[in-house]
């Protein structure tokens, strides 16, 4: 795989604690995350795979790999964005996620679009 500059594919994240699906007594903390993937390069690119590393405050790590996102493998034209929402469950009120999307450009070049670490946190947990 060739490393393509991160600025080609820009990934932004918004997170939310899902209180009505969480149960702190049973160490169940549910979070949603909304991802926007924008192609800021000059070539079309298709998202093929996802790879997530999810870590809770106890250091428990979950690794998730699979094809596409939410059942899709979006093809992004230059300047185009794809937005989706998914979720995860932790055993602690705070955790983090990071990872990458496996991408292919229109000329067949494979590359990874990195997803920088972001925090999942129940409200009023972090100052």
In a domain, 76, yes or no: yes
Q: How confident is the model at residue 7 (pLDDT cuts 50, 70, 90)?
A: low
In a domain, 126, yes or no: no
d(CA 32, CA 106): 31
In a domain, 1, yes or no: no
DSSP 8: G
Length of the chain: 127
In a domain, 85, yes or no: yes
pLDDT at residue 4 in the model: 47
pLDDT tens-digit readout, 54-92:
999 999 999 999 999 999 999 999 999 999 999 999 999
Structural domain count of the chain? 1
Residue 49: CATH number of its domain: 2.60.40.1470
- Three-state secondary structure call for residue 24: helix
In a domain, 97, yes or no: yes
In a domain, 113, yes or no: yes
pLDDT tens-digit readout, 81-124:
999 999 999 999 999 999 999 999 999 999 999 999 999 999 98
């Amino acid at each position: 795989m060739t490393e393509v500059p991160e600025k080609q594919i820009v990934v932004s994240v918004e997170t939310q604690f899902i209180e009505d699906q969480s149960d702190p007594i049973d160490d169940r903390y549910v979070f949603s995350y909304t991802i926007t993937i924008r192609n800021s390069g000059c070539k079309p690119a298709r998202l093929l795979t996802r790879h997530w590393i999810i870590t809770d405050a106890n250091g428990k790590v979950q690794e998730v790999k699979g094809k596409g996102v939410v059942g899709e493998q979006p093809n992004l034209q230059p300047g185009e964005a794809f937005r989706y929402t998914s979720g995860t469950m932790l055993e602690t009120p705070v955790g983090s996620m990071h990872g990458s999307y496996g991408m292919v450009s229109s000329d067949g070049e494979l590359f990874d679009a990195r997803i920088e670490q972001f925090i999942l946190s129940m409200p009023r947990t972090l100052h």
